[in-house]
Amino acid sequence: MDNVQKPIVSNKASFLHQLIAHLREPLHRNAYLLAFSTASASLLGAIYWVLAARFYPAEEVGMHSAIVSSVMFLSGLAQLDLINVLNRFIPNTGRLTTRFVAYCYLLAIVASVIASIIFIVGQPIWAQEGSLIENNLPYILWFTIAVVTWSIFSLQDSVLTGLRNANWIPVENISANLLRIVLLALFAASFPFHGILASWTIPIFLAILPMNYLIFRRLIPIHEQAQITTAPIPKVRQIATFAAGNYVGTLFFICSTLLLPLIVVGRAGAEANAYFYIVWVIRGSLDLIPMNMAQSLTAEGALDQANLPLYMRKMWAQMMRLLLPIVLILCLAAPLVLTIFGASYSANGSTLLRLVVLAVIPKTLIILYLGAARVLHQPKRIIAIQGSLCILVLGLSFPLLDTYGIDGVGFAWLISHALVAGALMLQQLRGRVRAQQSSTQGTRFTP
């Protein structure tokens, strides 16, 4: 009997040792932490919008979701692609890390204020049917501070990833989302008109204060003293060149994602945007899983470019293991999932949800290629990929939205990502054929 049990115990111990070794590797550990953070934030975010849909009429949800989209859109413009800059260069900045992060924050703050002012002043141009932002000083200040705080909130996650301390990201995201839910419930009765916007913005401001105290007072000093890399400290010109090339690609990405709710509310109305935005939140949450995991790829690839193809293969396997079951479940249970928000959301959004969920598979491949392009300093490739996506998504969304309603945006989203992912795979296949013919090897985009 003992002879039978020993191999079983031995196999369990071997599996446990392999699992521990797997999680000790920063590439895997940080990727799983980022994925867990995204999944937790997505679940809590879904609960938040379920309550919003229950507490507020569809028109109110549609209007305030458009304001939230405006905050995220302006913040995305103002971040100047510093998310990728911080994630890419912090591993190599050594004793200049404090100054580097502080300068990035300052740039984002100044750009956020400028973007907010331009948006508010220019409302008569792009909001002809009515202003999103109320024309009074307290509300304008509130909106501007929301853009600034969202910029810092977004950048600090990249700082933590670059410092290889992604374990703090789930803590901040879960705490902020829990507080959002509590405030939404409290404001539903006492602060009904601005309850959604207030409950969405206040936790962001409260989250950045303790987290950045931790970053600047503890984590960065540890990183600076450790000197974990022997690579030369990047020069300002190198960082600026990287940021400029990536920023153009980021602008395309922002336009193809955060502009769509504003397009829907402008062409189909606030109620239609309520149904659209709930699905768009689910899509965004799902997309964040591979996007955040790819940040781990960028950070580790920056330290060890020679093993980038290996890291990409590992990351592709991790992404598929996590995403395929989620995609299958959401496609099969789309009406049931949206029923949680209300019968009208299920009736109007089920097809759209299936379409955007299916697009996650080709989008994951695109994200992987973009992560490798950032490591290898290939801004032209990033611009080409993001630009193609933006042109396809927006170019197809306008006519399909007018013809098929919000489902048309889903068709545009799926078709665009499938076409771009297919083009990347075809290009990769041609590269392999040429490599075999010439019998040469190099660094390749191999998922």
pLDDT at 373: 80
What domain range is 284 assigned to? 26-438
Q: d(Cα 402, Cα 400) in Å, to the nearest integer?
A: 5
319 lies in some domain: yes
Q: Express each pLDDT in 384-393 by its tens digit.
A: 898 999 999 9
Give the model's pLDDT for residue 314: 77
pLDDT at 422 (0 to 100)? 92
Place of tokens 């009406």: 335
Q: 122: how many CB neighbours lie within 10 A of its CB?
A: 10
The confidence score (pLDDT) of residue 447 equals 46
The answer to the question of residue 445 being in a domain is: no
pLDDT for res 446 = 45
From the list 446, 386, 371, the residue with the least C-alpha distance to 83 is 371
Query: Is residue 135 one of the residues assigned to a domain?
Result: yes
Q: Is residue 154 part of a domain?
A: yes
Kindly state whether residue 15 falls inside one of the protein's structural domains: no
Mean model confidence pLDDT for the chain: 79
User: Which pLDDT score is estimated for 268?
Assistant: 81
Q: How far apart are CA 319 and CA 299, in angstroms?
A: 17
In a domain, 100, yes or no: yes
Kindly report the pTM of this predicted structure.
0.64
Q: Two tokens at 369?
A: 């290629």
The 10s digit of each residue's pLDDT in 68-111 is 888 888 998 888 878 878 877 887 777 888 888 998 999 999 99
Residue 10 counted as domain residue:
no
The pLDDT score that the predictor gives to residue 17 is 59
Of the candidates 318, 376, 396, 299, the one whose C-alpha atom is nearest the C-alpha of residue 87 is: 299
Using 70 as the pLDDT threshold, list the residues of the chain that sit under it.
1-39, 42, 124-134, 166, 192, 227-234, 245, 295-296, 298-305, 431-447
Q: Does residue 207 belong to any structural domain of this protein? A: yes
Residue by residue, what is the 3-state secondary structure of the chain?
A: CHHHHHHHHHHHHHHHHHHHHHHHCHHHHHHHHHHHHHHHHHHHHHHHHHHHHHHCCHHHHHHHHHHHHHHHHHHHHHCCCHHHHHHHHHHHCHHHHHHHHHHHHHHHHHHHHHHHHHHHHCHHHHCCCCCCCCCCHHHHHHHHHHHHHHHHHHHHHHHHHHCCCCCHHHHHHHHHHHHHHHHHHHHHHHCCCCHHHHHHHHHHHHHHHHHHHHHHHHHHHHHHHHCCCCCCCCCHHHHHHHHHHHHHHHHHHHHHHCHHHHHHHHHHCHHHHHHHHHHHHHHHHHHHHHHHHHHHHHHHHHHCHHHHHHHHHHHHHHHHHHHHHHHHHHHHCHHHHHHCCCHHHHHHHHHHHHHHHHCHHHHHHHHHHHHHHHHCCCHHHHHHHHHHHHHHHHHHHHHHHHHHCHHHHHHHHHHHHHHHHHHHHHHHHHHHHHHHHHCCCCCCCCC
| 228: number of Cβ within 10 Å | 14
pLDDT of residue 241: 74
Dist CA 117 CA 302 (whole Å): 36
> How many domains does one find in the chain?
1
